[in-house]
Structure 1
Amino acid sequence: MACLFLAGTATAQEGDPPRRGASITIEGSILSNQELIRDAERGLHHLYNMEYGPADSVFISIENRYPDHPVGPFLRSLVSWWRILPQLESGEEAQDEAFYDAMARVIKRSERMLDKNRKDFDAMFFKGAAHGFRGRLRSNREEWLKAGKDGKAALEYVFEIAEADTSNADFQFGSGVYNYFASVIPKKYPIVKPILFFFPSADRELGLRLLKQTATKGRLIQTEAVYFLLQIYLIYEPDFQRAVRYASWLTGKYPDNAFFRLMEGRVYVKWSRWSRAFKAFDEVTTGHAAGKPGYTDALASVAAFYTGRYHVQGSRYDEAEISFLAVDGLTAGQKKDSRFRIEAALRLGMVYDLQGRRQKAERTYRHVLDMRKNGDSHKRAKKYLKSPYNSQ
């Protein structure tokens, strides 16, 4: 559902005729200002490379240039967002307040503009986008009621902005997100069907076409579109060649982005290309050891987890033990046990069994039972306490 909260930035669907009575126009919009677009692109390039300081400097200059416009706080909120994203698994919320404050400023400035002109394109665009991103984080934080309210507010602007009937590729992103995910999520997660019953109908093929249009021709939202397509071909419609293509695009354009590098590694894991996956995870491990910006303990723990699995695949149990223990060390300060911390502990016990170190294995399985349940983690730990794990 979090994906649907981003649909607040949608506009007219590609190929649709102009709607009767359309009263919204992009004429005069700040988003038509090419100087602004170039500056924003420069800041976003810094941001996606996890160069937070340079990105924020560019966005501050934009905010100073347009002090009453929502564009400045919106762009600056993305710096907080990209500090949050690598930490999501850890439950770390240190950047949440700054993010929410920035989104509140976006909404407040947008509402002031709407008070003067209720069809102001910029105000509708940024207010919808702010609700979309805020709803996405609230969904990640499992604040479902608040996330739902943001989602409803964002969705309201999907159809309002659609009246503008623009062909700008960036503006197709929200419509692409909504059309695709509102089509496929009910099939993958039937539990949400009753909720989506009240949503407008959606078109999967249209959604894909619009996302690909943004990924190909977009400027400000191109990277987001590529990332969503990667998720689609990794999770919803597994396709190795397409997933690799989008992952390679992201890591090629933003080589210092640890989050994208991990995603690339997970693509190779899904299709059991372990040696190639190891290279991606090793780059994250190396970047973390060097203290590179964005190479957080949380992301390093994910890299260590998959590195441990890689060593198990090659029967290198001593190396696997080191990797799984590294996960435990890197996640020790988390507010809640991440799924990678739990799974690493379980697999560490399995490694001890394979090494014939039964007492250590039993202690590790009991440790897993002290953690929160993650999938069938408790069931498997109890199973291996009764009978040692055997890879056969």
Structure 2
Amino acid sequence: MLTRIAMILSIWLAALGIAQAQGAEADSMIFAPSKYLLLDRGLQFRITKSINSMYNFDFPTAERDYAVLAIQYPNHPLPEFLVALGYWWRIEVDVTNKKYDAIFVKYLDRAIAKAEVMFDEDETNKEAAFFLAAGYGFQSRLYSERKSWTKAAWAGRNALKYMDLSRGEEEFNPELLLGDALFNYFSEWIPENYPLMRPVMALFPKGNKELGLQQLEQVANNAFYTRVEAQYFLFRLYASEEKEPFKALQISEYLHGKFPNNPYFHRSYARHLYAVGRWTESVQQSREILDRIDAKLPGYESNSGRYAAFYIAQFNERLGDRAEAKKYYLKTLSFGEESESQESGYYLHSLVQLGKIAMEEKNKTLAKKYFKEVKKYAKRKHPAHQEAREFIKKNKL
């Protein structure tokens, strides 16, 4: 547990990503040249559509454009990094799926290698340092998900080193601020939530959660390359840590509207609608998610299905429609088993509810089976495990 907690900071600190531009300039706009490709406004204008396609899960269109970019800039890390980011979002939809790991790391390695050449030629090159920080940062995130702690720690340290080296160029500030924001937030959040980590965190500069959130908002509003990543972190923090569900909903609603075929943003929007009590709308979005899974649209798979089916089941239970609730709780189980997510809260709660429905239908044998499954998959301190124990005892199952 301590190893995992210790890794949280490096993962989130190193989370420097690429994001899409908001709005396009007029074709007649004359852009001032920049010594850094990242800050070339003309390039930003040209690749906005490509990056938008990537976030909207139209990877073939995005990657065709990135291939052209690679021909134009064969020695620059940007094209490979953008391709890697596309594979990261394929992973993000279901982080338990390892099918994209190798190709994701391959493109990051290529980007890192080109950035290292640039940095070796000129150690004052802030752009090279930026890509090294970003490349190692994403590697750290992946290796942490895979519980490869040594690799994650090594990549995280490198990301932090290059993030520091990339400072000092005022034009880069909106992009680099993401790292500062995450540092400020989590260097205070970790000791608050894990007191045993306080001696370790005392070695780091003091953080400020409120400032971290303000900085994330600033990046989300002003950055070009880290904008969507900042919005992603913001809605997750507002939903889980800050208990600001309406703020989380506002961001996820915007992202789903901007990228309607992104399954992660789609299910997050459905989830946040559900969290604020807009259940009819949540069910509408959830049914659309299930339809897209049936249509085999890119990225729509069992993990998203587990969310969607659960919200529909809960809605029908509130309406008193036991048959429909049962149908969708069973779908939740099916999706959970497909994605090997039996320890997830939605899976466990569905088992509990199916057990209760079985009791209402006078099927004690089936009810006992469901509650035994809860005890099998849930940790003893999990609320579902406790509820299962109490229900079994009370009903003498």
TM-score by length of 1: 0.86
The question of whether the paired residues in 1 share the 8 Å contact of 2:126 and 2:167 is answered with no
Q: Report the CA distance shift for 1:43/1:319 in structure 2 as closer, same or farther (over 3 A).
A: same
Which of 79, 85, 89 is matched with 1:78 structurally?
Answer: 85
Shift of 1:260: 0.9
Shift of 1:376: 4.2
The question of whether the paired residues in 1 share the 8 Å contact of 2:129 and 2:163 is answered with no
Aligned amino acid, residue 105 of structure 1: R
Give me the CA root mean square deviation.
Answer: 2.5
Counterparts of 2:202 and 2:115, CA distance in 1:
30
Shift of 1:31: 0.7
The question of whether the paired residues in 1 share the 8 Å contact of 2:91 and 2:100 is answered with yes
Q: Which SS does the other structure have where 1:149 is aligned? A: helix
Shift of 1:150: 2.0
2:377 alignment counterpart: 371
Which of 221, 238, 248 is matched with 2:226 structurally?
Answer: 221
2:38 alignment counterpart: 31
Any stretches of 5+ residues in structure 2 without a counterpart? Answer: 1-6, 17-32
Q: Which SS does the other structure have where 1:387 is aligned? A: helix
2:240 alignment counterpart: 235
Aligned amino acid, residue 377 of structure 2: M
Q: Report the CA distance shift for 1:237/1:9 in structure 2 as closer, same or farther (over 3 A).
A: closer
2:305 alignment counterpart: 300
Any stretches of 5+ residues in structure 1 without a counterpart? Answer: 11-25
2:315 alignment counterpart: 310
The question of whether the paired residues in 1 share the 8 Å contact of 2:341 and 2:347 is answered with no
Aligned residues: 372
The farther-off stretch of 119-128 and 351-360 is 351-360
Aligned amino acid, residue 363 of structure 1: K
1:57 alignment counterpart: 64
**2:140 is aligned with 1:135:** yes
Which of 179, 193, 200 is matched with 1:195 structurally?
Answer: 200
> Which residues of 2 match residues 7-22 of structure 1 at below 5 A?
7-8=13-14
Counterparts of 1:60 and 1:216, CA distance in 2:
29
Counterparts of 2:284 and 2:120, CA distance in 1:
54
Shift of 1:95: 0.7
Q: Report the CA distance shift for 1:337/1:96 in structure 2 as closer, same or farther (over 3 A).
A: farther
Aligned amino acid, residue 367 of structure 2: A
Runs of 4+ in 1 over 4 A off after TM superposition: 1-4
Which of 117, 121, 142 is matched with 1:116 structurally?
Answer: 121
Counterparts of 1:341 and 1:60, CA distance in 2:
42
Counterparts of 2:263 and 2:70, CA distance in 1:
28
Q: Report the CA distance shift for 1:28/1:118 in structure 2 as closer, same or farther (over 3 A).
A: same
Q: Which has the higher contact order (CA 8 A, sep 6+)?
A: 1
Identity %: 26
Which of 11, 17, 20 is matched with 1:5 structurally?
Answer: 11
Aligned amino acid, residue 72 of structure 1: P
Which of 354, 360, 363 is matched with 2:366 structurally?
Answer: 360
The farther-off stretch of 183-192 and 287-296 is 183-192
1:207 alignment counterpart: 212
TM-score by length of 2: 0.85
**2:145 is aligned with 1:144:** no
> Which residues of 2 match residues 163-182 of structure 1 at below 5 A?
163-166=168-171, 168-182=173-187
Counterparts of 1:263 and 1:85, CA distance in 2:
12
Q: Which SS does the other structure have where 2:166 is aligned? A: helix
The question of whether the paired residues in 2 share the 8 Å contact of 1:9 and 1:175 is answered with no
The one-character-per-residue Cα deviations of 1:185-231 (angstroms, maximum 9, x if unpaired) are: 33234344343232233233332222112211222222111121111
Counterparts of 1:194 and 1:101, CA distance in 2:
37
Q: Report the CA distance shift for 1:365/1:9 in structure 2 as closer, same or farther (over 3 A).
A: closer
Counterparts of 2:15 and 2:147, CA distance in 1:
23
The question of whether the paired residues in 2 share the 8 Å contact of 1:2 and 1:140 is answered with no
Counterparts of 2:270 and 2:84, CA distance in 1:
28
Shift of 1:294: 1.5
Counterparts of 2:252 and 2:105, CA distance in 1:
29
The one-character-per-residue Cα deviations of 1:140-163 (angstroms, maximum 9, x if unpaired) are: 223333222222221122322222
2:294 alignment counterpart: 289
Shift of 1:124: 0.6
